[in-house]
Amino acid sequence: MISPLWKGKKFPMETCISGWAMLNNQTAAISNIYMEKRIPHDAYRPTFVQSLIMAPVRASGPVAALGAYWKERRSFTPEDIQAVKMMADFVGNALRRIRSA
């Protein structure tokens, strides 16, 4: 069973990939996290993560980020990236509906 990777920990938006996705309103697909300067390597070393896709969750603007993680280094297809973006869009749409209810 996979447990939360960073339960109870906080990271400044400017120093983590989820913050980068929110601040830049862009999706990041990273094949090798240890070759990427936007990744806080020390935070990821104790985890299984080798590759990831991080997408902003938008309600009116980016309010969160949704990450998908892989234990192996891999290249991502456009379909992989689109699937994560769609999940983030679903979450954003749900948040909009909750706020307007």
CATH code for position 36: 3.30.450.40
What is residue 3's predicted lDDT score, i.e. its pLDDT? Answer: 67
- Separation between Cα atoms, residue 62 and residue 59, nearest integer Å: 6
Domain containing 74 equals 13-100
The yes-or-no verdict on residue 1 having pLDDT over 50 is: no
- Separation between Cα atoms, residue 1 and residue 29, nearest integer Å: 24
- Separation between Cα atoms, residue 96 and residue 51, nearest integer Å: 30
- Separation between Cα atoms, residue 48 and residue 23, nearest integer Å: 26
The amino acid at residue 49 is: V
Q: What is the pLDDT of residues 21-71, one digit of tens each?
A: 999 999 999 999 999 999 999 989 989 999 999 999 987 788 899 999 999
Confidence grade of residue 2 (pLDDT, cut at 50, 70, 90): low
Examine residue 7 and state whether it is found in any structural domain, yes or no.
Answer: no
- Separation between Cα atoms, residue 31 and residue 26, nearest integer Å: 16
The tally of domains found in the chain comes to: 1
Examine residue 2 and state whether it is found in any structural domain, yes or no.
Answer: no
